[in-house]
Structure 1
Amino acid sequence: MPSIEHLTERAPKVSVDELLRGFYPSPRFGDVSFDSYRPDPQQPSQSAAVVKLREFATSVDEPRPSGLRKLFGGGKQDPTRAGIYLDGGFGVGKTHLLASLWHASSGQKAFGTFVEYTNLVGALTFRKTVDALSTYSLVCIDEFELDDPGDTVLMSRLMRELADAGVKLAATSNTLPGSLGDGRFAAEDFQREIQVLADQFEVVRIDGEDYRHRGLPEAPEPLDEASLRERIATYPAGVVAEDDFAELVQHLASVHPSRYRQLLDGVDAVAWHDVKTITEQSVALRFVVLADRLYDRDVPIMASGTTFDHLFTDEMMSGGYLKKYYRAVSRLTALARQGSDVAR
C-alpha cells in the first residue's frame, strides 16, 4: 500500500544554500560523460562538439587570471568569450553534453535550466544571485530561451557580470544567441541586450533530427475516477501525492517556482483528479516549471480528466511560448505512460 500525501499541503521553506545545492544535473543525467555520448556517424558536428567541450572543460579547471595576467589576458580561451553555446534541435544530445561538461569540471559549479536561474534571481534578488554565482568556476544553463523583455535584460546583466568575475559559462538552446526572443516580443527593441548575450559565447552547432518534426506524442487515455482511485490504492509501496488538479494549480501560485524541486521531495508518483485545460498564460507557464521538475525526477503520473495534449489551449500551443508548451506536453505524456505501466 502506498503512503498518500498531498502537494497542496506542502509549503517548502528553502534556505539560500539549499537552493544553490539544487543546481546539479537531474538523475537522468546523473552519471553521463563525454564517453557515454554516442555521436551519429551521419552528423560529424556531434563528434566535433565533444572535442570542443573537452577542450572547454580543461579551460574551466585552469586558475583564474590575476594581476597583470588578468589585465593583459591569459589562458587558452579567447578572453572575449566567457562561454560555449550548444545550438541544435530537440533530441540531439545537448543536455547530455552539457551535463558531461559539468561532471568533467572540478571546483564549485552550477547546472540548471534557464527558468531555474530566472527563478533563483526572483527568490534571492539579482545582486545576491550574482554574489553567490561569482564564486563558481562554471555555470551551466540548459534550455536557454528568452521569452520576454524582462528576462532579456536580466540574463544579459547576469551573464555579463558573471563573465567579468571570471566564471565560465555553458548553455544549450535550439535558438542561436543572436536570435533569442524572436517571435516572442519586439526583439529589435532589445537588440543591444541580446547582442551582449551573444558576445559571451562561442557557438557550437550540433546537427541531427529535430524531435519537433515528429509531432506531439500520442497521449494515453485518461482514467475515469473509479479507475484512478483503484490505481492509487494498488500502487506499489511508496509516496503517492494525490491532488485535485484545480486545487494543485491554485496552490502552485503560493509556492515560488524555485522551490518546486523541494515540493516534490520524497514523492514516488503523483495522481491528479479531473485534469482540465489551463487557459491563463501565467498559470500555464508556472505549470511548465512543475512539469520539468517532475520529468527531472522521473515521477510517474496517474490522472483523470483531459489528456495532456489538451492541457494548454490551441492559442498557447501556436504562440510565442510554443517550445515551452511542446516540451511540457511531451514530458507529461511520457510520465503518464510510466504511471499507466507501473500501476498495472
Structure 2
Amino acid sequence: MTPPPDAMSAAAGPYPLALAEGPLPALRARIAAGAIAADPAQELAAEKLQDLWRRTRGYDPKVEPPDTGGFLGRFFRRKAVDEAASEAPLGLYLVGEVGRGKSMLMDLFFASAEVPRKQRLHFHQFMQQAHRRIHAWRKEHGDTADPIPPLADSIVAEAALLCFDEFQVHDIADAMILGRLFEALFARGVVVVATSNTEPDNLFKGKPGRDAFLPFIAMIKKRIEVLVLDAARDYRRERIRGMPTWHVPPDGRAERALDTAFAELTGDTPAAPTRLTLLGRAVEVPQAARGVARFEFNDICGKPLGPADYLAVATHFHTVVLDAIPRLGPENFDKARRFITLIDALYEHRVKLVASAEDYPDRLYERGENAAMFERTASRLVEMQSQEYLALAHLT
C-alpha cells in the first residue's frame, strides 16, 4: 500500500527545511517564494494539520498480534486495543469542491509527518487492496472465518497513519465492509487524514442499503474532525482552463502534449494502474492519479464495456486523458458506439477531456448511415473544449 517515494519528494520540493517544521511552515514557504497564492481557507486547514502534526510526532501505537492462548490472551489483546484507541489523536477530514488545494495540503502533512509507519494512497486503491486481502484470507481459511480483525492487524502493522485522497463511496461492496473495518482500525489506534468532495453526511447518499451505512458515518464524525475547505479559487480548473484539450493528429507531438497535461493536472503525482469494480465487473484504468485517468482509445472503446462502466469512469474521475481517437465509421461501428456512450457519460458528469485524435470532432465520423447519429457527440466534444464547460464543477 505504500506510495512511490516520489510522492514524498514531490511534496518536499525545494523547501525541505520548512517541511521539517510541519505543513504550516511548508505552506508559508511556498507562498513566500511565490509558488502559490495565499488563501485564508488553505491557511486554516494548514493550521489544523500543523496541530495534528504536533500530536502525532513519534506516534507509534503498539498493538500486538492476536494471541491464540485462550481467554487471558484474548483479554490482554482487548486491553491493548482499547488503550491504543483511547490514546489515538483525532484525524482530519478535509472536504471541499474540486481544485481547492486539499491534496496539496495533505501531501505537505504526509511528507512532514514524523510517524514511523505511514501511508498515503487513493481511497479507491485502498479499498481494492482490502478486497483482495479479504478474498485471499477466505480462500485460505474458509468463508466462515472473519477476515476483518486479521485485515485490520495487517494494515496497522504497515501504517499507524493513513492518508486517503478522494475519500468517496460508490460501491455497495465497499459500503458493506467499511463500518467493521474502520471500527477495527480505530480500535487499533490508526489515525486517518482524508480529502473528499463529499461531506460525511452525504456519503453513499441515495444508494440502496444506505441505512446500514449510517453507523459508519457516525463513527467517522466521532473519530475524525471534519473541516470544510472553502477556498476562494479552484486551482485545478484554473490549470485546465486555457490548456489545449484537442490535439490533431495523434503523433509524437500530441503524445508529449498529453503527457504534459497529465503531469500538470495531477501535480506530477506518480500514476498507477487501477481497477473500478461494479457488480462483479471490472474496468481497467491503465494510469490514474488524483482524479485523472488516462486511456488509449482501444483500452476504453475497444473492449466490451457498457453504459454502467462508463458511468463508473465518469463518477470516479474529474478528468480523462484519451490517446489516439481514430477516424470512425461503419467498419469500426462497435468502437464508435462505445465512444458515443463514453462521451455522453463524461459530458453529463462534466468530466474534462484532453484528447488526441485523427481529426477534429465534426470530421471524425463523416461517412456511413450512422454519421448523422454522431453529430450530437461531435457537438458535445466541441462544447467540452469551451472555457465555459471547463469552468463547470465535476458531478459525482
* TM value normalised by structure 2: 0.53
8 A contact 1:88–1:173 mirrored in 2: yes
2:128 alignment counterpart? 119
- Across the aligned residues of Structure 1 and Structure 2, the Cα RMSD in angstroms comes to 5.0
Matched, 1:279 2:306: yes
Offset at 1:94?
A: 0.4
Q: 1:281 corresponds to which letter in structure 2?
A: A
2:202 alignment counterpart? 179
C-alpha separation in 2, matches of 1:131 and 1:180: 26
2:43 alignment counterpart? 47
Q: 1:233 to 1:100 in 2, by over 3 A?
A: closer
1:302 alignment counterpart? 323
C-alpha separation in 1, matches of 2:276 and 2:192: 31
1:10 alignment counterpart? none
Offset at 1:194?
A: 2.2
8 A contact 1:111–1:142 mirrored in 2: yes
C-alpha separation in 2, matches of 1:93 and 1:124: 32
Q: 1:70 to 1:91 in 2, by over 3 A?
A: same
Q: 1:287 to 1:86 in 2, by over 3 A?
A: closer
Aligned match for 1:132, one of 150, 154, 164: 154
SS in 2 for 1:139: strand
1:312 alignment counterpart? 342
Matched, 1:221 2:246: yes
CA offset digits 1:274-332 (Å, max 9, x no partner) = 9749633236536987x79x99xxxx85322489x9673546754xxx4xxx5xx43x5
C-alpha separation in 1, matches of 2:202 and 2:299: 39
Q: 1:206 to 1:161 in 2, by over 3 A?
A: same
Unaligned runs of 5+ in 2: 14-18, 64-75, 135-146, 260-274, 329-335, 358-396
Q: Which has the higher contact order (CA 8 A, sep 6+)?
A: 1
Unaligned runs of 5+ in 1: 1-19, 240-250, 338-344
CA offset digits 1:78-131 (Å, max 9, x no partner) = 868641111111111100111111111131111111111111112222645422
Matched, 1:100 2:108: yes
Q: 1:141 to 1:258 in 2, by over 3 A?
A: farther
Q: 1:314 to 1:187 in 2, by over 3 A?
A: farther
SS in 1 for 2:342: coil
Offset at 1:143?
A: 0.6
8 A contact 1:23–1:111 mirrored in 2: no
C-alpha separation in 2, matches of 1:71 and 1:235: 52
Q: 1:21 to 1:112 in 2, by over 3 A?
A: closer
C-alpha separation in 1, matches of 2:131 and 2:81: 33
1:31 alignment counterpart? 12
Q: 1:45 to 1:124 in 2, by over 3 A?
A: same
Offset at 1:56?
A: 0.6
Offset at 1:205?
A: 2.0
Higher CA-based Rg: 2
SS in 2 for 1:312: helix
C-alpha separation in 2, matches of 1:288 and 1:64: 36
CA offset digits 1:257-287 (Å, max 9, x no partner) = 89956x99xxxx9754597496332365369
C-alpha separation in 2, matches of 1:70 and 1:252: 37
C-alpha separation in 2, matches of 1:313 and 1:207: 31
* TM value normalised by structure 1: 0.60
8 A contact 2:55–2:89 mirrored in 1: no
